[in-house]
C-alpha cells in the first residue's frame, strides 16, 4: 500500500463512517470521491442527530419546560462551537442558515435593502470572479438587476488562477462589495485572499468570502482573513444537510437590515410595525434547523479532535499524489492548477474527447463515485472551452489506494470507448 | 456487465459515426440544454407539407445524447409527421419505463435501432440525455407547424 508522509490513520478513521463499508453494483467496494459535493457523516454525527430527537426535541428560545431549555442550550451550544471553530471574536456573529447559498443570498439582500454607507444601488458596483459557484453569481446578478448596480468580475488565467493583473480597474471607488470563493469547487484553486482584501479595504468595499470548500478542509480564522462576511455549509464538513453558516462582523450585523421576517427575529410586534432582536437572531426568522445545528456541532467536535491542520496535511499529500498519478493517464487534461501548490483536494479533468457523463458512468460501474458536469460553475467550463469535467474530490478518509482505483478505472474507461 | 445494457454496440456506433449531423436549412430551429450535465443541442426541422424532409442538428454531449440524435435523424427523416409522432411517443414510453418495458416485436418494428435505448431507462440520471434531441424535435416541430395549427384552432 502506498504510504505518503502526512497521511492520517485512515484505517481507524474509516471505521467511524458506516457508509464507506457499502458495496455497490453487486459487490463493488464503494470508492467515494465526490466529497466536494457532500461529505459522508461519521457515526458521532449520526448519533448526535438521533440522540437529539430521542431525548431533547423541542422548539428553541420559547417555552419554559425542561426540553425547551435543553434544546435551546444545545442549539446555542452549536453556535459556540462554530464560533470557536472559525475563531470568531463573538458568538453573536454566527448566523445559522440552511446552506451556503442562503448565506450568500442573505448578504446580497442585506446590502440591497441597506441604508448608506452600505447600500448597493445604480451608482455602485459589485465584484465577483469567473470561478464562482453559481451560488455566488446568481444572488449578485439578481441584486444588480434589481438595483441597477454594475456587476464586474475577475477573469481566470490559463492555469486556473484568478487574473488579478487589473485589480485596480476591477475594484474601484464605486465598489460596494467584493465576493469571492476561497477554494474553487471546480478548479481546486486556493485564492490569494490578502491581495483582494487589501484592495477592497483601500476603496472601502465590503468583502464576502465563500468558504464552502475551505471550512471542511483547512483551519479557518475569520479574523486572519479580514473579511466582513464568511459563508459555508455544514454538509460538506461531516455535518447534516440543511444547516449553513454566515459569519459577519458584529457592527455590520447591527447596522444591516433583516431579510426574512417572522418569528424568532423580533423584539416587539404591533400591527403597524416591529422592532428586531439583536444579531444573530435578527437574521434567523422562524424555527431554525435545530437538530441540524446540533449535528454540525458534533461534526465540528469530530474534525477538531482530529485537527484541521492534520486534515489539511492529509489532503495535501493526497492531492500531490493524485495530480502526479492523473498526469500519467494518457489524454487526461487537468482543468485547474496542475501542481498541489495553493490547491485544494478537488481535481477536475477531461479525458480525451470522452464526455464526462460517460466517464462517470463507467467509473460508477466499478464502484467509483465522482461528479460529472459543470459543477454549478458553468462560466469556468465556458472559459476553458469544455462542455463539462469529471471531478474527483478527497476528504480526511480518502486513501492513496482510492486514487489508484480511480486511475485504473480511467484506464478501463479509455478501453471501453477506445 | 450491466453497463453493456446501456452502452449497446448500436449506440456506440451511432455515437462514433453519427447520421445527418450538421445544421442545414430548416423551417424552425431550437436550442435545448440539459442543465445537470451541460449537454446541448441545436436542432432544425424542415417540412414538406406534413412530411419530415430533414432534421439537422449540431451539439455536444455524452454518447447517449449524441447517439440518440443520430438515431432520431435516421428514423424520422422521410416519414410522415403522424408516424414521426408515434415513434417519438413510443421512444418516450420506452426510455421512461425505468427498465419495466421489455421491447416486443411490435415495438421493435416502430423503433428499429432506437430499441437499443431500452437499457438507458434503468439509469435515471441518463434518461434526460436520451430524450434531449427528441424533446428538441417535438419543440421545433410545434414551432415549424405552429402557424398552421393556430389557424386551425381559430377557424
Residues A294-315 have pLDDT tens digits of: 999 999 999 999 999 999 999 9
Region A231-256 average pLDDT:
98
Q: What is d(CA B34, CA B53) in angstroms, rounded to the nearest whole number?
A: 26
Q: What is d(CA A209, CA A347) in angstroms, rounded to the nearest whole number?
A: 21
Residue B113 to chain A, least CA–CA distance (Å): 20
Q: Kindly give the interhelix angle for A43-55 and A290-306, rounded to the nearest 10 degrees.
A: 150
Known catalytic residue: A376? yes
> Is A116 exposed, middle or buried, given 0-12, 13-18 or 19+ CB atoms closer than 10 A?
exposed
- Which CATH number applies to A46-304: 3.40.50.2000, 3.40.640.10, 3.40.50.300, 1.10.390.10? 3.40.640.10
* Per-residue pLDDT, B1: 56
Q: What is d(CA B52, CA B46) in angstroms, rounded to the nearest whole number?
A: 6
Extended beta strands in A163-210, E state:
175-181, 206-210
Q: What is d(CA A164, CA A195) in angstroms, rounded to the nearest whole number?
A: 9
Q: Which of A208, A238, A376, A381 is catalytic?
A: A376
- Find the angle CA(A328)-CA(A332)-CA(A334) to the nearest 5 degrees: 100
Mean pLDDT computed over every residue of chain B: 90
Comparing CA positions, the residue from A192, A156, A212 lying closest to residue A393 is A212
* Per-residue pLDDT, B150: 39
Concatenating the DSSP letter of every residue in A55-100 gives HT---SSS--SHHHHHHHHHHHHHHHHHHHHTT-S-GGGEEEESSH
To the nearest whole percent, how much of chain A has pLDDT over 70? 100
Quick check: A279 pLDDT over 80?
A: yes
Region A330-359 average pLDDT:
96
**Residue-range domain boundaries for chain A:** 10-32+307-412, 46-304
DSSP letter assigned to residue A50: H
Q: Give the rounded distance of the alpha carbon of A55 from its chain centre.
A: 31
Quick check: A319 pLDDT over 80?
A: yes
* Per-residue pLDDT, B34: 86
Q: Does the beta carbon of B6 lie under 8 angstroms from any beta carbon of chain A?
A: yes
Phi, psi torsion values for A31, nearest 5 degrees:
-115, 100
Question: Residue A248: is the preceding peptide bond cis (ω within 30°)?
Answer: no
B126 to chain A: closest CA residue? A357
For domain A10-32+307-412, give the CATH number: 3.90.1150.10
User: Cβ contacts of residue A185 below 8 Å, gap of 6+?
Assistant: A36, A133, A212, A213, A346, A375, A376, A377
Q: What is d(CA A186, CA A384) in angstroms, rounded to the nearest whole number?
A: 12
Q: List the end-to-end C-alpha distance of chain A, in Å, as a whole number.
A: 30
* Per-residue pLDDT, B152: 40
User: Cβ contacts of residue B39 below 8 Å, gap of 6+?
Assistant: A357, A387, B33, B59, B60, B61, B62, B65, B128, B129, B132
Say yes or no for a CB contact (<8 Å) between A417 and B12. yes
Choose, out of B1, B37, B60, the residue to mutate when testing the contact with A (most A CBs < 10 Å): B37
Q: What is d(CA B57, CA B72) in angstroms, rounded to the nearest whole number?
A: 10
Residues A148-195 have pLDDT tens digits of: 999 999 999 999 999 999 999 999 999 999 999 999 999 999 999 999
Q: Does the beta carbon of A130 lie under 8 angstroms from any beta carbon of chain B?
A: no
Q: What is d(CA A208, CA A71) in angstroms, rounded to the nearest whole number?
A: 31
Q: Domains of chain B, with CATH numbers? A: 3-144 (3.90.1010.10)
Q: What is d(CA A47, CA A45) in angstroms, rounded to the nearest whole number?
A: 5
Residues of chain B with pLDDT under 50: 150-155
- Phi-psi group of B122: left, alpha or beta (phi > 0 → left; psi -120 to 50 → alpha; rest → beta): alpha
Nine-digit cell string for B7: 452502452
Tell me, what's the ipTM?
0.85
Residues A48-73 have pLDDT tens digits of: 999 999 999 999 988 889 999 999 99
pLDDT band at A197 (very low <50, low <70, confident <90, very high): very high
Strand partners, A245: A96, A232
Contacts of B64 in chain A (CB under 8 A): 357-358
- Within the 20-79 window of chain B, which residues sit less than 8 Å (CB to CB) from chain A? 36-40, 60-64, 66
Residues A81-129 have pLDDT tens digits of: 999 999 999 999 999 999 999 999 999 999 999 999 999 999 999 999 9
CATH topology agreement for domains A10-32+307-412 and A46-304 = no
pTM above 0.90, yes or no: yes
Comparing CA positions, the residue from A179, A236, A225 lying closest to residue A396 is A236
Residue B91 to chain A, least CA–CA distance (Å): 21
Residues A169-182 have pLDDT tens digits of: 999 999 999 999 99
- H-helix or E-strand spanning residue B57: strand B51-60
Amino acid at each position: 500500500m502506498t504510504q505518503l508522509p502526512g497521511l492520517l490513520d485512515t484505517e481507524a478513521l474509516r471505521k467511524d463512517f458506516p457508509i464507506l463499508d457499502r458495496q455497490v453494483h453487486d459487490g463493488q467496494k464503494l470508492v467515494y470521491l465526490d466529497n466536494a459535493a457532500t461529505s459522508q457523516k461519521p457515526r458521532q454525527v449520526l448519533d448526535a442527530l438521533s440522540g437529539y430527537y430521542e431525548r431533547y426535541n423541542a422548539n428553541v428560545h420559547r417555552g419554559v419546560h425542561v426540553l425547551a431549555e435543553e434544546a435551546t442550550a444545545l442549539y446555542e451550544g452549536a453556535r459556540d462551537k462554530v464560533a470557536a471553530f472559525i475563531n470568531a471574536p463573538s458568538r453573536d456573529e454566527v448566523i445559522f442558515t440552511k446552506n451556503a447559498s442562503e448565506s450568500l443570498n442573505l448578504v446580497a439582500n442585506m446590502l440591497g435593502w441597506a441604508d448608506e454607507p452600505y447600500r448597493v444601488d445604480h451608482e455602485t458596483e459589485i465584484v465577483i470572479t469567473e470561478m464562482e459557484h453559481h451560488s455566488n453569481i446568481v444572488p449578485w446578478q439578481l441584486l444588480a438587476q434589481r438595483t441597477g448596480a454594475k456587476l464586474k468580475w475577475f477573469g481566470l488565467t490559463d492555469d486556473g488562477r484568478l487574473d488579478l493583473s487589473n485589480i485596480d480597474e476591477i475594484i474601484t471607488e464605486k465598489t460596494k462589495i467584493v465576493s469571492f470563493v476561497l477554494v474553487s469547487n471546480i478548479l481546486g484553486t486556493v485564492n490569494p485572499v490578502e491581495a483582494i482584501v487589501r484592495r477592497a479595504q483601500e476603496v472601502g468595499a465590503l468583502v464576502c468570502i465563500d468558504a464552502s470548500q475551505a471550512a471542511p478542509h483547512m483551519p479557518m480564522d475569520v479574523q486572519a482573513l479580514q473579511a466582513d462576511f464568511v459563508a459555508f455549509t455544514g454538509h460538506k464538513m461531516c455535518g447534516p444537510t440543511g444547516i449553513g453558516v454566515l459569519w459577519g462582523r458584529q457592527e455590520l450585523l447591527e447596522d444591516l437590515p433583516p431579510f426574512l421576517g417572522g418569528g424568532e427575529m423580533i423584539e416587539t410586534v404591533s400591527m403597524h410595525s416591529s422592532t428586531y432582536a439583536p444579531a444573530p437572531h435578527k437574521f434567523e426568522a422562524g424555527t431554525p434547523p435545530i437538530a441540524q445545528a446540533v449535528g454540525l456541532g458534533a461534526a465540528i467536535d469530530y474534525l477538531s479532535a482530529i485537527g484541521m491542520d492534520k486534515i489539511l496535511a492529509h489532503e495535501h499529500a493526497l492531492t500531490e499524489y493524485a495530480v502526479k498519478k492523473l498526469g500519467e493517464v494518457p489524454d487526461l487534461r487537468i482543468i485547474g492548477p496542475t501542481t498541489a501548490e495553493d490547491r485544494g483536494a478537488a481535481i477536475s479533468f477531461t479525458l480525451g474527447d470522452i464526455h464526462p457523463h460517460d466517464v462517470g458512468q463507467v467509473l460508477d460501474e466499478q464502484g467509483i463515485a465522482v461528479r460529472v458536469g459543470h459543477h454549478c460553475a458553468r462560466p469556468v467550463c465556458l472559459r476553458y472551452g469544455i462542455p463539462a469535467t469529471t471531478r474527483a474530490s478527497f476528504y480526511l478518509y480518502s486513501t492513496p489506494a482510492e486514487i489508484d482505483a480511480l486511475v485504473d478505472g480511467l484506464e478501463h474507461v479509455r478501453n471501453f470507448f477506445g | 456487465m450491466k453497463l453493456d445494457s446501456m452502452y449497446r454496440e448500436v449506440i456506440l456506433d451511432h455515437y462514433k459515426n453519427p447520421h445527418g449531423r450538421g445544421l442545414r436549412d430548416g423551417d424552425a430551429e431550437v436550442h435545448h440544454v440539459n442543465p445537470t450535465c451541460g449537454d446541448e443541442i441545436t436542432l432544425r426541422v424542415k417540412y414538406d407539407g406534413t412530411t419530415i424532409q430533414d432534421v439537422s442538428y449540431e451539439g455536444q454531449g455524452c454518447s447517449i445524447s449524441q447517439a440518440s440524435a443520430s438515431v432520431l435523424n435516421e428514423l424520422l427523416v422521410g416519414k410522415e409527421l403522424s408516424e414521426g409522432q408515434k415513434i417519438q411517443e413510443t421512444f418516450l414510453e420506452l426510455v421512461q419505463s425505468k427498465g419495466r418495458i421489455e421491447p416486443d416485436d411490435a415495438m421493435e418494428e416502430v423503433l428499429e435501432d432506437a430499441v437499443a435505448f431500452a437499457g438507458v431507462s434503468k439509469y435515471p440520471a441518463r434518461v434526460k440525455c436520451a430524450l434531449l434531441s427528441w424533446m428538441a424535435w417535438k419543440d421545433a416541430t410545434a414551432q415549424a407547424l405552429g402557424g398552421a395549427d393556430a389557424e386551425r384552432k381559430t377557424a
